[in-house]
Amino acid sequence: MSHKYVYLFTEGNGSMRELLGGKGANLAEMARLGMPVPLGFTITTEACTRYYDDGKVIAEDIIAQIEENLAKIEEINGKKFGDSKNPLLVSVRSGSRASMPGMMDTILNLGLNEDVINGLISGNSDPGFERFVYDSYRRFIQMYSDVVMEVGKKYFEELIDKMKKGKGITNDIDLTASDLKTLAQQFKQEYKEKIGEDFPSNPKDQLMGAIKAVFRSWDNPRANVYRRMNNIPYSWGTAVNVQPMVYGNLNNKSGTGVAFTRDPATGEKALFGEYLINAQGEDVVAGIRTPNKIDKLADEMPNVYEEFVQIANKLEKHYKDMQDMEFTIENEKLYMLQTRNGKRTAAAALKIAVDFVDEGMIDEQEAVLRVEPKQLDSLLHPQFDPKALKNATPIGTGLAASPGAACGKIVFTAEDAKEWASRGEKVCLVRLETSPEDIEGMVSAQGILTVRGGMTSHAAVVARGMGTCCVSGCGEILMHEQEKYFELSGKRYNEGDYISLDGSTGKIYGEAVPTVEATISGDFSRFMKWADERRTLKVRTNADNPRDAAQAVKFGAEGIGLCRTEHMFFEGDRIKAIREMIVSKTVEERKKALAKILPLQQGDFEQMYRVLEGRPMTIRFLDPPLHEFVPAKDEEIKELADDMGISAQELKTVIEGLHESNPMMGHRGCRLAVTFPEIAEMQTTAVIKAALKVNAENNGYTVVPEIMIPLVGEVRELKFVKDIVVATADKLIKDSGAQLTYHVGTMIEIPRAAVTADEIAKEAEFFSFGTNDLTQMTFGFSRDDAGKFLESYYDTKIFESDPFERIDQNGVGKLVKMAVELGRRTRPDIKLGICGEHGGDPSSVEFCHNVGLNYVSCSPFRVPIARLAAAQAAIKDKKA
């Protein structure tokens, strides 16, 4: 017997999601539960995969199975496909394992042709019936042409408009049966012109065309983008559901509707939905008539309502989750066309999870699995007012770099952002790209928009740290930074004009879209407690200043996994001392400049220690190439040179000397400490002195600093720097007369560090995986440049997700695993963490759990996400 590619609804069940898709599995399950479902069949996801493997054709054996099952549903329903007396009409709908709005949705009324229509009309004397049939027919032609053959809708709409104009009417409803019949003819003519052949009249040809269209839609650009955003593998494929039509638009005893078992916006326990009498599904969506609230059905058709309520309750209990259902009523008979776990807002997800536990439907562990970690984001950031958003049209899209919504007046410089904000203006900072010097302006802005830079660009990373909305890398913008305006979608936007940014979708609006503040419910802490009780992975945060650290602690961070000391170097006047250090020509000059920085850096650490109250803090020593600290423009160089009392030419020569062809792989990280050991000495002094001081305050906690040496690729590099650290630290501790424990470890962010981790663990007390750089080096991708070709990589499906967002388990992950094993072999108690951007990505957190890390570290606003993701990973791990 050939492999089974087609299942009757009565052959499947709810657990067969992978094979039948969500829609198919749930239709089968409802049928199995004895609910009123028009009985059709599902063509499996395997058929879709085979379609692609076979070079985009449906194989003969699959066609045979489709025809076989078509015959079975003809028999079950007592109707025949293409029969002029008693025709079977069907809907064809896609349905993959995960719900995917990017794909083809539905074709209704498939099976209609001239013969069938004539038969139908001659067998029914109802005066409105002829019009109903022709209306169905022209809709079918239009839908089929659009969805299956990709003839744009607009051609058909133009024909309708022309017809209405000719007849002097404005509403579709005023078109007569004869008008619609004429339109159907015109539509077929249009089809022929565009496609070059007749509109298929054979229902089986129509069916095969529609099935192919569903398969094809799996690979359209929208679907690809959606999959990438939601981490759905291309290999899954989609199923196709073929189901006999029922008619909500047959008469006034018919109708159609959608309903949720709970309010998807708030989670409130109440049937929530709407319906339309005498309508098909698309009418509800089209919004021509205002649908009724679902409660009204209790008055209009009490029996149907009662039956629906019972079914809804039964489904929710059965699936133990809030259900989103579609139904149709034909002549007062209820048909269920779909059920699925309903999409919901983060607030609703939390409430429903907590309520389900209280109602005894699920246990706490199950509840923890019920909330999508990424959703938590929206609870922590302002969002657009949904009503206002409905009327706004985006003018462009960038990368959704840091979530939340922002609305403000455009400013083009960090200084302006700061100044405008200080006088109470809400501003959005628009820049080609941001640099560390823009920090204060970024803090003052509601949102940040950049032309260049990816998900891990400076703007993106810093904005996420602060919880500020950011859209990055909108390359469509024509920027005129000097002249203080930009062009987008052919329009000019000046300083002071309003824009609005959606950092969760990357959309940009050229107008003011009001926002609403984030609110956190009591359910949140209850829910997060359940999560925390289950996770084994600790969650730390990446924070470089007391503000971010305090925010993260509020969000449950258990320490700092990455404090980038260089970020401290930009505040206030200290950048001057840094620059003085950089242009120093002798060790003595450099030491003099470093001496100026020491007390400032020590002060920073003291503040951080106090905020953390004894929680661990991993302090990374100076990492970026030095050229990032010096100005690039002539006038700025002149200014700095004057400040420093040297000639502009001299300074320029120093700055040119710092130029590198590939700074990402240049003189940075521990390489700076090898060439300038005095920098490591100064930083060690600051770390240790601050710890000694704060410990001496007897605040009831003990500071145990963790010093992290970045960019190590060879154990002797680490040993060299560690020797400096230990010599400096031990002397300070000894001189102080106090006790102080500290640890020295390294980042694993160079491939060589991963493959020689056994060696490196001889010197490192801990590893922190710097998966941003590790991803760059392992792929040989500069994150600043990869934007140029990554789109092509998605289009060609070479990549299905951005390796900078979601850890590449096959490559980068393999190196991480290797390093974990090698590191533990040398030092069984080595502490292992991750501090790259991946630390806040749920699938990457799961990976970190599975390879056995001790903690993840992520930006403050991602801490709750990481906590939940870690809990889910632990639960899944326990189950498996």
Catalytic positions are: 458, 835
Q: Measured from the CB atom, is 648 or 664 closer to a second copy?
A: 664
Joined tokens for residue 131? 């019009």
Q: Measured from the CB atom, is 708 or 874 closer to a second copy?
A: 708
The total of other beta-carbon atoms located within 10 Å of residue 613's CB is 12
Among 613, 697, 785, 877, indicate the residue that binds a second copy (CB under 8 A).
785
436 scored as a contact of a second copy (CB under 8 A): no
794 scored as a contact of a second copy (CB under 8 A): no
Smallest separation (angstroms) from a second copy to the CB of 754:
9
808 scored as a contact of a second copy (CB under 8 A): yes
Q: Give Cβ neighbours of residue 679 (< 8 Å, ≥ 6 apart).
A: 581, 590, 594, 621, 622, 672, 673
316 scored as a contact of a second copy (CB under 8 A): no
Smallest separation (angstroms) from a second copy to the CB of 413:
22
Q: Measured from the CB atom, is 64 or 798 closer to a second copy?
A: 798
Among 135, 307, 717, 846, indicate the residue that binds a second copy (CB under 8 A).
717
Smallest separation (angstroms) from a second copy to the CB of 665:
4
Joined tokens for residue 175? 């078109």
As a residue count, the chain comes to 880
Q: Hunting for tokens 């399950």 — which residue is that?
A: 29
Instruction: Give the interface segment with a second copy, choosing from 409-417, 496-504, 527-535, 744-752 (CB under 8 A).
Output: 744-752
CA atoms of 742 and 695, how far apart (whole Å): 13
Smallest separation (angstroms) from a second copy to the CB of 799:
7
Q: Measured from the CB atom, is 342 or 803 closer to a second copy?
A: 803
DSSP class per residue in 216-274: HHTTSHHHHHHHHHHT--GGG-EEEEEEE---TTSSTT-EEEEEESS-TTT--SS-EEE
Q: Measured from the CB atom, is 342 or 454 closer to a second copy?
A: 454
Among 250, 414, 812, 858, indicate the residue that binds a second copy (CB under 8 A).
812
Strand partners, 450: 431
Q: Measured from the CB atom, is 276 or 461 closer to a second copy?
A: 461
711 scored as a contact of a second copy (CB under 8 A): yes
Joined tokens for residue 166? 């000719």
Check: CB of residue 865 under 8 Å from CB of residue 840: yes
Q: Give Cβ neighbours of residue 41 (< 8 Å, ≥ 6 apart).
A: 6, 7, 8, 9, 66, 69, 70, 72, 73, 241, 242
Query: Per-residue string for binding with a second copy, 622-661, x by CB under 8 A?
Result: --------------------------------------xx
Among 129, 752, 850, 854, indicate the residue that binds a second copy (CB under 8 A).
752
**φ/ψ of residue 383, rounded to 5:** -130, 160
Q: Measured from the CB atom, is 624 or 860 closer to a second copy?
A: 624
CA atoms of 664 and 619, how far apart (whole Å): 21
Question: Strands 743-748 and 766-769, how do they pair?
Answer: parallel
Among 196, 796, 829, 879, indicate the residue that binds a second copy (CB under 8 A).
796
CA atoms of 174 and 166, how far apart (whole Å): 13
Amino acid at 631: P
Among 125, 252, 519, 810, indicate the residue that binds a second copy (CB under 8 A).
810
Check: CB of residue 716 under 8 Å from CB of residue 676: no
820 scored as a contact of a second copy (CB under 8 A): no
Instruction: Give the interface segment with a second copy, choosing from 17-25, 568-576, 684-692, 769-777 (CB under 8 A).
Output: 769-777
Among 46, 105, 364, 714, indicate the residue that binds a second copy (CB under 8 A).
714
Smallest separation (angstroms) from a second copy to the CB of 57:
19
434 scored as a contact of a second copy (CB under 8 A): no
Amino acid at 92: V
Check: CB of residue 783 under 8 Å from CB of residue 457: yes
Smallest separation (angstroms) from a second copy to the CB of 749:
8
Total residues in contact with a second copy, by rule CB under 8 A = 50
868 scored as a contact of a second copy (CB under 8 A): no
Q: Measured from the CB atom, is 53 or 573 closer to a second copy?
A: 53
Instruction: Give the interface segment with a second copy, choosing from 332-340, 482-490, 790-798, 823-831 (CB under 8 A).
Output: 790-798
Instruction: Give the interface segment with a second copy, choosing from 83-91, 190-198, 486-494, 754-762 (CB under 8 A).
Output: 754-762
792 scored as a contact of a second copy (CB under 8 A): yes
Check: CB of residue 424 under 8 Å from CB of residue 430: no
**φ/ψ of residue 516, rounded to 5:** -120, 145
815 scored as a contact of a second copy (CB under 8 A): yes
Query: Per-residue string for binding with a second copy, 834-853, x by CB under 8 A?
Result: --------------------
CA atoms of 624 and 342, how far apart (whole Å): 46
713 scored as a contact of a second copy (CB under 8 A): yes
Joined tokens for residue 742? 């500290």
511 scored as a contact of a second copy (CB under 8 A): no
Report the site for a second copy in 177-216 (rule: CB under 8 A): none
CA atoms of 735 and 330, how far apart (whole Å): 89
CA atoms of 487 and 490, how far apart (whole Å): 6
778 scored as a contact of a second copy (CB under 8 A): yes
793 scored as a contact of a second copy (CB under 8 A): yes
Joined tokens for residue 627? 């050229």
799 scored as a contact of a second copy (CB under 8 A): yes
Q: Hunting for tokens 């009780």 — which residue is that?
A: 533
Q: Hunting for tokens 């708030």 — which residue is that?
A: 266
756 scored as a contact of a second copy (CB under 8 A): yes
CA atoms of 607 and 262, how far apart (whole Å): 47
Taken in order 153, 131, 107, 102, the sign of the CA dihedral is positive
DSSP structural state of residue 474? -
CA atoms of 209 and 58, how far apart (whole Å): 10
416 scored as a contact of a second copy (CB under 8 A): no
Q: Measured from the CB atom, is 325 or 774 closer to a second copy?
A: 774
Q: 540: helix, coil or strand? A: strand
Among 399, 777, 848, 856, indicate the residue that binds a second copy (CB under 8 A).
777
Q: Measured from the CB atom, is 711 or 869 closer to a second copy?
A: 711
Burial (Cβ within 10 Å: 0-12, 13-18, ≥19) of residue 811: middle
Among 789, 825, 852, 876, indicate the residue that binds a second copy (CB under 8 A).
789
Q: Measured from the CB atom, is 387 or 585 closer to a second copy?
A: 585
780 scored as a contact of a second copy (CB under 8 A): yes
CA atoms of 414 and 641, how far apart (whole Å): 22
Q: Measured from the CB atom, is 415 or 714 closer to a second copy?
A: 714
CA atoms of 834 and 324, how far apart (whole Å): 38
229 scored as a contact of a second copy (CB under 8 A): no
228 scored as a contact of a second copy (CB under 8 A): no
751 scored as a contact of a second copy (CB under 8 A): yes
784 scored as a contact of a second copy (CB under 8 A): yes
Q: 424 — alpha (psi -120 to 50), left (phi > 0) or beta?
A: left
DSSP structural state of residue 568? G
Query: Dihedral of the CA atoms 841, 846, 851, 855 (nearest 10)?
Result: 60
825 scored as a contact of a second copy (CB under 8 A): no
Query: Per-residue string for binding with a second copy, 660-679, x by CB under 8 A?
Result: xxxxxxxx---x--xx----
Check: CB of residue 20 under 8 Å from CB of residue 13: no
755 scored as a contact of a second copy (CB under 8 A): yes
Q: Measured from the CB atom, is 571 or 714 closer to a second copy?
A: 714
Q: Hunting for tokens 């995969």 — which residue is that?
A: 49
**Interface contacts to a second copy, rule CB under 8 A:** 660-667, 671, 674-675, 711, 713-714, 716-717, 720, 749-752, 755-756, 759, 773, 776-782, 784-786, 788-789, 792-793, 796-799, 808, 810-812, 814-815, 818
